[in-house]
Chains A and B, each alone.
Chain A
């Protein structure tokens, strides 16, 4: 039987506010335990919540960025359950009237093997504001668990997609696009190690052609794109095998273990969840007035989708490249500055996505930390364009820039990397090479194309890479005729 995978994601993004959603405590990461847990955060008797305007504004930014409906009146509810990292015994969230409903996100699913990369639109169900819980530390305190409530009350925007993804690759592409967007519009720092962007995946499978969904299992708390992919792949295999072996999938919450690469059922609760949601009587309905929404809209930067279209139009890059280049605001800004500096969009795209990205990856650096500035890269590309540098020489100049050896032209001069432009000098090298390789000449004349390439290689070598490969080609062809 052929199976189809159905995936929907729920992403918890920590909002980049200074203070918590319902108290004036700092949200800074990494403080000593409970030093950022105020009376409200630890739920002392009698304390009350007051909503942070900054958190609401983040939600408005997000709603505008995905073209969603902003509920002009939205309501906070209490979700009741007992857990030691949940000090009030309820989480303040939004159930019936969330702040954001609808909206969509364009994703590009990378090609697998020889196929084309594919563009898709994923629809969002909703996004609602809620408070984060504290942390349970399971290190051994004489068989006890330690509770740190610093994180309790950190604002979250829970972003829920429709179950529209059909593979782990699509799920990852969606998660990446969402990650790019929330960091792009400045509502989330995107730090996945610190838990700023946490993904839950609802996964089910069904026979191809079946319209109703299969029973889903929810994989909780995936904090890297790689784990997201691995967890879904494992889960899908497990569900298909279970069904093909005649078993049943029952609705459950599972955890992914990165060490084993497997998902496992969370300890089953004795009773079904019954969260007893009801509107929080301590908080009034939140009203979004049009002036506020308009003011927030005016502060939104150009969004990735708009920028992608512009990059394709203005710089002639492919849809896929435009998506990669708008993977983050910093990357997009870098690319655009470099492209403008050299007037060569496609070449700039190739360098940013090729040489530069590889070097940054290797050095584990962020684009913002790049030792080579966008102006320098632009200048380098300009020297390729005007024939001063070959691709190979340019890579050597790039190394110089990376090492901080100075500006492009200075490195070319200091290291003697200028492409040979004197045709007399090149002609002499070509003659010498032909004279020294009679066998290759003979083979070429006998019809062996490969021999020609060998001769080109010899010329390049003799010129120590400074010869212009096109010129070498032309000259050799002329001489061998």
Chain B
């Protein structure tokens, strides 16, 4: 197959071997062919995509092209996109055409990168299987009977099926890393505050962070260069000097200290996943890394803490969906109060309502200290564990998810069972640390297995270096699901 890495596509565009318009059309064709079975996209608008691609070509013709100008990407439907339907996977926003661009979208536009469409997701990013979307479940390209993971399931599936060279995702408790693992791609959640949250529909504000999803670490590094940057309209955006995340990709790994948290290899971890992760550790050792056993003792409390803090913030963040200024309004109601109650009962799906109720409960009078405050205190203990660990290691390694892709409907009846999927990913969100997932093998059913790296604050370049070196030595990330040829880039 042809090379669809971002660096290759960029080179072909720069060499005028292909135009952005042609490239976009190729991907649109592949979306048209594959999406009906996968359901990775909520909105595809060929006309808009081709117009943006034509603009990219014009930019190049004018000699104003940047490194990735003309390379198309798909955006999670959580990012407000001016003139595009932006649903967040919810009936509540089934008709919401955003009147402005999220900061992330503005950065892609400024880089001259056309949008291939808006990808499917768990409703309001609440889910680990993409089954909570109002627009239907996404199917895993490796096995359509299985889930792609969530909440950025559409993004992961569309990249795995090469319906897009790369995609944006967001990660509140693992929503980039877990679907990346389940779909066999690479995904990175940056340090909290590196990517602006402005225009990204909020789930849990203190945890949400956008990041890149693509086949390889190198692709992610290139995308991260586009996505990061200070934004004065997000108070939590960090005003730091801009980095080139590709700068350390080719450094050797000699002397790298890899921390292995014993809690991430304990009970509950699938044997095949454990074996693949062990093999990856062996591979890194071959590349010069050493390992050190560490403990993240409080990480076992990450799920309880997360299921207090995230719903609490969400219950408040989602109060704006009231049927007054935009979005869904119930067709019939007796009075104002009834309008609110019916609009929200009908507009939100079951999982979203469940989390709103949990959040309202833990913040309500008499329960705040026992739940919300206690969770915030344990959050600090979890972060402190990481701080201690990074005194003895450079990067922490473990599985991304306890198992591989599960079957559609297998866990949707049991919220607790579903929540346990994010056991290994949530701690990094609570601490605000960067985390990434990269493919490290397949189970006996042929489903991808994800390896997770968690780095210290602002150590994205180091993590990408480790991942890139691993990917140079392995080809798990090159494997394609059995769907047919990738589009391409001629030649």
Direct contact of A and B (CB under 8 A): yes
User: Is B365 part of the contact surface with A, judged by Cβ < 8 Å?
Assistant: yes
Residue A51, interface by CB 8 Å:
yes
A282 and B236 within 8 A (CB): yes
- The CA-CA distance from A47 to B205 in the complex, in Å, is 11
**Given A46-B201, A88-B319, A274-B364, 11 more pairs with CB closer than 8 A:** A45-B88, A45-B201, A45-B321, A45-B326, A46-B80, A46-B200, A84-B336, A89-B318, A276-B365, A281-B205, A282-B236
Is A454 at the interface (CB under 8 A from chain B)? no
Q: Is the CB of A278 closer than 8 A to any CB of chain B? A: yes
Answer yes or no: B480 CB below 8 A from chain A CBs: no
Contacts of A88 in B (CB 8 A): 319-320
Contact across chains for A82 and B99 when beta carbons are under 8 A apart: no
**What is the interface of chain A mostly: helix, strand, loop, or mixed?**
loop
* B346: interface (CB < 8 Å): no
Residues B325 and A42 in contact, CB atoms below 8 Å apart: yes
A80/B319 in contact, CB under 8 A: yes
**Bound Cα distance from A84 to B320, whole angstroms:** 10
Contact B322 A49 (CB under 8 A): no
Q: With A281-B205, A282-B205 in contact, is A89–B100 under 8 Å at CB?
A: no
Whether B198 lies near A47 (C-beta < 8 A) is: yes
Dominant SS at the B interface? loop
Task: Return the 4 tightest CB-CB contacts between A and B, nearest first.
Answer: A89-B319, A276-B363, A281-B205, A281-B206
Binding site for B on A (CB under 8 A): 39, 42-51, 78, 80, 82, 84, 87-90, 145, 147, 274, 276-278, 281-284
Mind listing 12 A-B residue pairs with CB under 8 Å? A39-B99, A44-B80, A45-B96, A46-B201, A48-B198, A80-B319, A84-B322, A145-B336, A278-B363, A281-B205, A282-B205, A284-B235
Given known A-B contacts A82-B340, A84-B336, A278-B372, A45 and B235 have beta carbons under 8 A apart: no
Restricting to B290-336, which residues have a CB under 8 Å from any CB of A?
A: 312-313, 315-316, 318-322, 324-326, 336
Q: Identify which of A43, A46, A84, A283 gathers the most chain B CB atoms within 10 Å of its CB.
A: A46
A82 and B233 contacting across the interface, CB-CB below 8 Å: no
> How many angstroms between the C-alpha atoms of A15 and B197 in the bound complex?
29
From the candidates A42, A50, A278, A283, name the one contacting B316 in the complex (CB within 8 A).
Answer: A278
Residues of A contacting B205 in the complex (Cβ-Cβ under 8 angstroms) = 281-282
State the CA gap A84–B319 with chains docked (Å).
11
Residue contact B202 to A46, C-beta cutoff 8 Å: yes
Which residues of B in the span 187-201 have a Cβ within 8 Å of any Cβ on A?
197-201
Q: With A46-B200, A282-B236 in contact, do A87 and B316 touch (Cβ < 8 Å)?
A: no
B contact residues around A281 at 8 Å (CB): 204-206, 236, 313
Q: Tell me if B316 and A274 are in contact (CB < 8 A).
A: no
Note all chain A residues with C-beta closer than 8 A to B167. none
Q: In the assembled complex, how far is the CB of residue A412 from the closest CB belonging to chain B, in whole angstroms?
A: 64
Closest chain B residue, CB of each to CB of A283: B235
B93: Cβ under 8 A from any A Cβ:
yes
Q: Does B86 contact A (CB under 8 A)?
A: yes
A48 touches B86 (CB 8 A): no
Flag if B233 contacts A276 (CB, 8 Å): no
Q: Which residues of chain B come closer than 8 Å to A277, judged between CB atoms? A: 363, 368
> Considering the chains assembled together, what is the distance between the CA atoms of A238 and B326 in angstroms?
45
Whether B281 is near chain A, meaning CB under 8 Å from some CB there, is: no
CB-based contact A278/B233 at 8 Å: no
> Which chain A residues lie closer than 8 Å to B252 at the CB level?
none
Q: Which of A45, A49, A84, A282 has the most CB of B within 10 A?
A: A45
Q: How far is the CA of A281 from the CA of B86 in the complex (A)?
A: 23
Q: Shortest Cβ distance from B233 into chain A, in angstroms?
A: 6
Residues of the B chain whose Cβ atoms lie less than 8 Å from the Cβ of A44: 80, 98-100, 325-326
CA of A86 to CA of B222, assembled, Å: 41
Say how far A428's CB is from chain B's closest CB, in angstroms.
86
A147 near B324 with CB under 8 A, answer yes
What separation, in Å, do the CA atoms of A46 and B205 have in the docked complex?
10
Taking a contact as CB atoms under 8 Å apart, the answer to whether A45 and B80 are in contact is: yes
Q: Which of these, A46, A50, A274, contacts B365 with CB under 8 Å?
A: A274
Residue from the set B206, B318, B319, B322 with the largest chain A CB neighbour count within 10 Å: B319
In the complex, are the beta carbons of A47 and B235 less than 8 A apart? no
B102 within 8 A of A: yes
Q: A45-B93, A49-B235, A87-B320 are in contact. Are A278 and B200 (CB under 8 A)?
A: no
* Given A278-B372, A281-B205, A50:B319 Cβ within 8 A: no
A284: B residues at CB distance < 8 A: 235-236
The smallest beta-carbon distance between B219 and chain A, in angstroms, is: 26
Query: In the bound complex, do residue A82 and residue B235 qualify as a contact, i.e. CB atoms below 8 Å apart?
Result: no
- Per the bound structure, the CA–CA distance linking A84 and B79 in Å amounts to 25
Q: Is the CB of B364 within 8 A of A276?
A: yes
Which residue of B is nearest A51, CB measured? B235
> What residues of B have a CB within 8 angstroms of the CB of A49 in the complex?
235
A353 to B459, CA, bound (A): 71
Cα distance A274–B79 when bound, in Å?
A: 32
If A88-B320, A89-B319 touch, whether A48 touches B235 (CB-CB below 8 Å) is: yes
Pairwise interchain contact B235-A46, C-beta atoms closer than 8 A: no
Contact B86 A45 (CB under 8 A): yes
Which of A42, A43, A276 is the most central at the interface, judged by chain B CB atoms within 10 Å of its CB? A276
- Indicate if the CB atoms of A87 and B86 lie closer than 8 Å: no
A48 touches B80 (CB 8 A): no
Chain A residues with CB under 8 Å of B363's CB are: 80, 276-278
Q: Which residues of A contact B204 (CB under 8 A)?
A: 281
Mask: chain B, 88-100; 1 = CB below 8 Å from A; 0 = not: 1000010010111
Q: Which residue of chain A is the closest to B359 with respect to CB atoms?
A: A276
